[in-house]
Structure formats: C-alpha cells, structure tokens
Chain A
Amino acid sequence: MGADLPGGLVPPEMESSEGVEAETDAGTAPPDTEERSTPILGGGGPVLLRDRFLVDTGKPLPELDCPSAKAYAVEDRRDLSRHLYGLVCTPGLPIRIDAIRAIKDLDIRGILPLVDWDAVTWPPLGQKAMVVIFQRPMGGRVADRMARKEVKITEYDMPRRVIEPITEGLQAINNLDAPHRAIRPDNIYFLDEDMTDVVLGPFVVAPPGYDQAVLMEPIERAMAMPAGRGKGNSRDDIFAIGVTMVLLLLGYNPVGKIKDEDLIHARIEQGSYTAICGTARIPMQMIEPLRGMLADDPTERWDFNEMTNWLSGQKINPIKKRPIDKAENPFTFRGRKHLTARSIAHHFCKHPSDAVRAASSDEFQDWVKRGLDKGTISDAIKGAVQASKFHEEGHQGSDDFLVARISTILDPKAPVRYKGLSFAPDGYGPVLAVQWVRNGDPQAAAEVLAHEVSALWFTAQPRLHRELAELQKNLAQLRGLLSIQDPGYGLERVLYESNPSMACQSPFVIKDCVSTIEQLLPALDAASNSGDTSTHPMDRHVSAFIAARFGEDIHPHLRALASSRAETSIVGMLSLLAFLQWKLRTPAVLGLSSWVGGLLGPAINAYHNRQTRQELERDIPRLVRKGSLPELFNLVDDAEKRREDSEGFETAQAEWLSAEEEIRDIEGAGEERLTKAERSGQQAAAMISITIALTVVSVILLIETL
C-alpha cells in the first residue's frame, strides 16, 4: 500500500531515519535530529499565510529549528513590530493539531505563544506544508546561553527562574489535555532579550515524544520507537523536567557517551535516577526533588502538587527507595547478562528467533521461576510456548507473535512490541503514519490490529483504569474498521482516525496538505488540472479521509461507492462529493465537476432509454460549467426519471417479447406452415365447390319451377 505513495514528497534523508530502534548516542538533543529534519533550506521567496504573515523562505533561523521542523523568519504585515518565526512541519508527519487549536492565541506563562498556523505552498519542497507561527524567543535557547556563560543559573536560581514558570505552563496546558512531551534543554527559551522570562518551546510540530532523546523519556516510553511514545501525561513531562534540570545544572550530559540501548539497559537494571545521575555531582538540595521527578514508577513520581510544594519551599516527602526486582544470578541472552524481567523482555524483542529458542528452554523458565521468583509468569510463558506450537500454522504460531506475548507477560508496562515496532498503546496512530507514509511499509502496524497484538498488552495489565479501557476500546474500533475492505474503511481509515492531523495521502491531493475536510474539494478541483482525470478521483485515501473527517452519516454513499456495478459506484462517488459540496457550502468546483462529469458514462448508460441518455449528455456540460456537483447529481440520479425509465423499459421488453413470439409463431416450422396453408386451400376449394353446386341446384330448380 505504501508503494502507492508518490515519490519525491519525502526528502531522501527522511526515509531511513525512522528506524525501528534508534542506535544513537543519548544526548540532550535527539540523536537522529539531523536525519529526521525535513524541510530543505533554499530560496523561493516569501510565502503568505492567512493574508497576513509573510514567511520568508530565504531567511532560515537554524538557531530556532526543531528536530522535525525548520524555522524561518516571519513578518506580521499588520504589525511590523512583532517578532515572529514559523516552523515548517515535515509533510507526512502527524502534528498535534488538537494541541495547536487548544493553545492558539492563549497567553500562557511558561509556554511559547502560538500565533497562527495553516498549510501554505512551500517552494523549497514544491508542495504545501503546515507552517506554525510562534512568537520569537528573543533571548535564544537557555542551554546555549548557559553554555556560552552569557547567563548563570545556579542550583539556587533554577527552581524559581526556570522550573517554576515552565511548571506553571505545563499545568495550564495539562488542563487543556495537551501534555508537552517535548521538554529538553534545547527546547527551553528566554522569551525576552533580558533573559528573564523562561518558556517551553514548540511541542506541536511532531507526534508527542517524537523529538525526544531516549534519555528524556520515562523508561516505559523510552523503550518505544520515537513515533510510538504516545501522548502521555503530566508525569512524563515532570520526568523530562527532572532530566532537563540535571543537564542544565551539570552543563553536560553525564550519559552522553552511552549508547541508547546500553542506557536503557542500565536504567532498567539500576533505575533511571541512578543510571543518569549515578556518576555526576548533583547538588545536595536537588537530590531529593530529582529522585521524585525521575522515579521510574509513575505512581511514585512527583505530580504538580509535589512540584508546587517544592517550589514554594514546603516540606517534601522523600521517595522511598524500593529495590528493583532482580534475580541473583543473571540470564545470558546473546552475550548480554540480564537480571530483570524487563531487561530480558526488551532484549528478546530485538531478536525474535533467538528469543523463542531461549524462552522455550527449561533453563530460562527455571530462571524466571526461581531466579526472579515469579512462578506464575514462568507458567504463563510455558503456556504461551505451548499455545504457539498448537497454532503453528497461523499467525499465533509465528516467532514474532510469541515474542510479543512473552515480552508482555514478562513486562506488562513496557510498550506493545511486534515485528520491530514498539509503541505505547496511546501511540499507535503516529506509528502507523510514520511506518506507512514515511517508511512505506504499514504491514507490521496493520498486523498489530489484525492479529490483536495490542490485546495481549491489555490482557497482561493487572488492572485497566478508565484511560486504558478507553484506549482498548479505541483500538478495538480501529480493528473493526481495518477488517472492512470497502472504500472508506481499511487501513486508510485507520490511518486518518488514529491521526486527527494527518493530511490526505491520496496522490491527487498529497501535495496540497489537505488536513481538514473543507480543504478537500478545492484540492481535488485543483488536481483536476494536473492529475489523470481518466481515473476515479475518489480513491481509497480520499474516501477514508472523508469518512474520518466528515461529521455526517455517509454510510449509504460508501455502500454505493463499494458496489461492484460501475454505474452504482460512480453515482455513489458523485453523491458523496455532492453531499460534501452542499453541506460545506464549497463554492463552484469547475475542474472537479468536469472531471466527475467525464466519468459519468456508466451512470448515464444505466438509463435504458436512449433519448434520456442523449438528454443527459446534452445537459451535463451545462452543469459542469456551473461547477455544481449537487445539481449534477440531481440530473444524473433523478428518482422520478429512473422510475419512468425502468417502467418504460419493462413495457418495451414485454412488447419486444410479444412481437418475437408472434414472429416465431408465424415463421414456425416450414413443413407445418405448408401443411397448414395446403389444408386451408383444400378447405377453400371444397367450400367453392359446394357453393357452386348449391348455386347450380338452386338455379335449375328455380328454372324448372317457373
């Protein structure tokens, strides 16, 4: 399916970036920043957004770049004194449109103000891209300023000067159900030139956690692939604040030279605080707050109340040290020694074939039972292995499925892991988007739903609280949509339902960055000038996009569209497009009308009466020139006309049949016909003879009697 996507829209350096696992150094900046950045620097002149903001393609601002979006200078034509900049988002990468809508025009302390956003034609890319405009932070990045020693923030200043405003901002956006999920040292700015106002930088231009380094994420989300880290919550943000504090205070990354995988292993086996801060000299008064913020157990981790207590100087409760569940003797898998179930589960997922062999061994099951003292888990693994052997032929017997199951049993809180994918259950949408749109291979992501891999994860949870139950329900609904193969459903529908900001990926409109339903018809109208108008404009992506974004009941239209009869399918397409134009009050779409009008042959031919067909063919160009799809639909699918045509056809059929029967009767078999004619002749001869005889007798009798 991904192969259908037009090439050239994703810059080459993007395609190899979203790997299954990021084997890069942990650092303050995301390790694969350079690979994942999309927009290409280059000229093309200024671009106007909403007739007000001038985004200058010739003025890049690399110091304000995000890993997934390049920054450019922006000028407000109505207020030239405003300092603005725009982030050009990566086409095909879902952005956080709900968060954009939530914070737009809000002045939240501690959050970089978002001014406006829209999709504009971006000349360097040769297509439309989403541009989000922010107030320009005139003081630059806090981390850069500190590194250059232009500002000094000590451990005494840090809470009040940095942490307090951003905590306040986080609380505000958390109330808007938009956790930040992009807190890192290089995303904290001084809003003013005097470097007094500290704000959190942009967080809406990529999926939650996508731009974060492994270091910045809590361990459960750090194990997930960048796109699959999930929306998360305020506690994930507080973890990131903790790590950011460590990095800013130290001025360097204490684990910068450790590879991501090694860092994850260390965090699992030692705990995040120890793994990150273990060798560093953390100021005494920061130790307890950092323990609270970096606690691996989300229920123990600090929340906003504890943050506020700390910031206001109130007494804070120290985190109780809980030993990590470790075995006394390690289990060695592929040369690495593991002491915890989480660590071995994480490693298993990287090597499914070896993992199946290891997990099936008595040695491993014995280690789980005795070493980890988890007899129930050992039994569950044994059961999973046996079940896999029982279902050897089906997907449940595959190594990938078995490893997904075993890893979930071993570590229920870890991400869903299957065929190289790993994602938090609230991160499925972005994973599918990235795997399909950017890597061109949605197979594994589709199998997660089709084979109910995510159900394994939910089954393994000790208890399903409300959010998890809702997530489970959402994924089950997505599975239902996937199982229907008609237009408007399938994996395309799953893509748009699970990614509210995802632009329509139809080849007809992909360059137009159509992310709202209102943009679709104008984009298709424009596509009619350049696209192949001999094909159906309503491809699977367009129909799924409409089904996901249009808030009306379109099931009858989709049913007609799915019909195997060409005329019904064409009428279904026209009716859906006409419904869109009518409901959204879209102005005339001349090109699209012409495009659709040219495809109406089968619908016109569905009429039996040739005169009716000729009338339709005569009238269509007139309506095409009006650009009105509803009128075109009314003309083609007039119920009264259809009824008359159908009745007339039936009458004509009966008339034709009657004539045919009479002809057959007349022509009949040749011999029979001749016999019949001869008999008639003989009869006639006899009648003539008798008539003559009677006449003669009568005449003679008459003569004789007179």
Chain B
Amino acid sequence: MAMAPNATSASDGLNWNLVLGIGVILMLLSIFAFPTLMVVGIGFLPTLVAYICDRTEQKFATFCVGGMNLCGVFPYVVHLWTDDHSVPAATEVISDVFSLFVMYAAAGFGWMMFLAIPPVISSFLQVLAQSRVKTLRTLQRDIVEEWGPEVSVATDDDDGISPPA
C-alpha cells in the first residue's frame, strides 16, 4: 500500500492506453504483416530518433522528419504490398543500401527543412512587424501634429511611455 503513490507518480508521463494500443497494433502487424513491420521499423528509425531528440511539446521536428521519412519509406512498403509481401522481400529492401539511403535521405531532407525554414519565416514576420510599426508611428506623428505633444503626455504619465521621436 505504501508503494501505491510512488507507482502512480512514476507512471504519470506515460499514456498507458496509447502504449497498449501501439502494442496491440504491433502485435497484429507482427502476426499479419510482419514484412511491412520490418521495413517500417527500420525505415522510420530517423523519425524515432527525431522523436526522442525533440523535447518540445508540439513535436514539430518529429512531424517534419516523419513526414519526409514517410515519403522515403512509403514507396517500398507499397512495393511489398503489391509485389511480394514476404520476409525475404522485406529483408532485401532493408538490406539494400540504396533503399536505405532513399529512406534516410528523405528523413534527412525533412531535418534540413526543419532547420532552414524557421529563419526564413522569422525574417518574413520581422519585415511585416516593422512595416506595421512604421505605419503606427506615422499615425502617432499625425495625431501629435494635429493635437500637440500633450496628447501623449497623459499617457506617458500613466504608463511611462516616451513620446514618439
């Protein structure tokens, strides 16, 4: 009885339903689609790594790598499904350097996207913000020109904001 609270707190971070669901799926896949499971298991290793490395709540890196990783893995999975869904065929795919390269290169491209796109977006947003600030400053200058500097004084007193230059 004394262990019960500790056991509860240790299991706080895990979603046991999800784990159970994944376990059931994996078990079913290993019974009915083991070759697919082999290819997917090996092919999605970069995504697993990204998932482990990505400590953010939103898991953007995982999605980014995972999406592109899917692009690299999915053709081979489809090939298995349409050609020969057997363990030797799956072994052939995962032992082929080229197919592994395609899968991992796609994941690598996803990682590159994850690294390259944010600065571009950030710069773009920065330009937009500056443009807005400029518009607002112009508006403030017009107001002061029409109503005198006192129009901003009361605000300054209240909020400690300096009048616009």
Min distance, Cβ B42 to any Cβ of chain A, angstroms: 18
In the bound complex, residues from chain A placing their C-beta under 8 Å from that of B65 are 689
> Assuming A610-B146, A656-B143, is B71 touching A692 (CB within 8 A)?
yes
CA distance A219 to B117 in the complex (A): 114
Q: Count how many pairs of residues, one from A and one from B, have CB atoms less than 8 Å apart in the complex.
A: 141
Would A678 and B63 count as touching, CB distance under 8 A?
Answer: no
Q: B41 at interface (Cβ–Cβ under 8 A)?
A: no
Alpha-carbon distance A631/B134, docked complex (angstroms) = 45
- State whether A688 and B161 are in contact (beta carbons under 8 Å apart), knowing that A610-B147, A656-B144, A683-B60 are contacts in the complex: no
Residues of B20-72 contacting chain A, CB below 8 A:
58, 60-61, 63-68, 70-71
User: Are B155 and A688 within 8 A (Cβ)?
Assistant: no
Decide if A685 touches B71 in the complex (CB within 8 Å): no
- Tell which of B64, B78, B129, B154 touches A682, judged by Cβ atoms closer than 8 Å: B64
Chain A residues within an 8 Å CB radius of B113: 685, 688-689
C-alpha gap A653/B156 in the complex (Å): 11
Partner of A666, one of B63, B114, B133: B133
Task: Find A648's partner among B68, B145, B147 (CB 8 Å cutoff).
Answer: B147
Given A685-B60, A696-B71 in contact, is the A652-B110 Cβ separation under 8 Å?
no
Q: A686 within 8 Å of B by Cβ?
A: yes
Q: Which residues of A contact B5 (CB under 8 A)?
A: none
Quick one: which of A652-706 are within 8 Å of B by CB? 652-653, 655-657, 659-660, 662-664, 666-667, 673-674, 677-686, 688-694, 696-697, 700-701, 704
Known: A682-B118, A701-B78. A689 touches B137 (CB 8 A): no
Stretch at the interface among B9-17, B85-93, B97-105, B120-128: B120-128
A689 x B75 contact (CB < 8 A): no
How many A residues face the partner with a CB closer than 8 A? Answer: 42
Q: Would B67 and A689 count as touching, CB distance under 8 A?
A: yes
Known contacts A674-B122, A681-B119: A655-B67 contact under CB 8 Å: no
A649 at the interface (CB under 8 A from B): yes
Among the listed B60, B68, B126, which residue makes an inter-chain contact with A677, where contact means beta carbons less than 8 Å apart?
B126
* Inter-chain contact A689/B66, CB cutoff 8 Å: yes
Q: State in angstroms the CA–CA spacing of A653 and B70 once bound together.
A: 56
Q: Which of A623-666 contact B (CB under 8 A)?
A: 648-649, 652-653, 655-657, 659-660, 662-664, 666
Indicate which residue in B78, B136, B159 contacts A659 across the interface (CB closer than 8 Å): B136
Q: Are B147 and A652 in contact (CB under 8 A)?
A: yes
Chain A interface (Cβ < 8 Å from any Cβ of B): 608-611, 648-649, 652-653, 655-657, 659-660, 662-664, 666-667, 673-674, 677-686, 688-694, 696-697, 700-701, 704
21 inter-chain pairs at a CB distance below 8 angstroms, sorted by A residue, are A608-B151, A610-B145, A610-B146, A648-B147, A649-B150, A649-B151, A652-B143, A652-B147, A655-B139, A660-B152, A663-B136, A666-B132, A679-B118, A680-B125, A684-B121, A686-B67, A688-B64, A689-B113, A693-B66, A694-B67, A697-B74
List residues of B whose CB falls within 8 A of some A CB: 58, 60-61, 63-68, 70-71, 74-75, 78, 82, 110, 113-114, 116-122, 125-126, 129, 132-133, 136-137, 139-140, 143-148, 150-152, 154-155, 159, 161
